Amino acid sequence: VDLPKPLRTVPSVPAISTYTVNNVEANFAMSKNLSPTKQHRLLRYEEDYRQLKKELLQVGHVLQGSVTTRWIECGNASCRCHDGPQSRHGPYYQWSWKHQGKTVSRYLNAEQADLCKQWIANHRELETIVKRMRNLSVRIAGLYDIRHK
């Protein structure tokens, strides 16, 4: 029976087993090796990260895509809707999003459209917060000389 080879340990890099993903106040074994300036930055970054987590809790339901309002001409040549844009049928609300690489759409009533617009705005807010969290995490990694690029 072939057993897996034991992992090599690098003596110059302390283990970071005390770090947990959900604990922003991670107790890195390396943190005591940071300069006072980096320790101060780390505390500030951790506070910023905690604030971002609080902001995440405020985000409501999320949907991807967009909601459009359409005014449509029908197929009846004698209908008033052919008199100009102000005479078209509508408004019709349409929610569109990508699913497995294809655009999918659903027609909505006015109340549903308002709800979807809010949830789409929530999704954009979520993406903004997550992007800020990623950027902050890269800065924190930089304090430990972990380079992103």
The predicted-structure confidence for 27-69, as pLDDT tens digits, reads as follows 455 566 788 898 889 999 999 999 999 999 999 999 999 999 9
| 14 pLDDT tier (thresholds 50, 70, 90) | very low
Amino acid at 134: R
What is the pTM (predicted TM-score) of this model?
A: 0.72
pLDDT at residue 145, as a whole number: 87
CB atoms within 10 A of CB 85: 8
* Confidence band of 17 (pLDDT split at 50, 70, 90): very low
| pLDDT tens-place string over residues 74-130 | 999 999 999 999 999 999 999 999 999 999 999 999 999 999 999 999 999 999 999
Chain mean position to CA 82: 43
Report how far apart, in Å, the C-alpha atoms of 6 and of each of 9, 13, 60, 101, 143 are.
Answer: 9, 17, 46, 42, 30
Is pLDDT of 7 > 80?
no
Q: Find how far residue 129's CA is from the centre of its chain.
A: 6
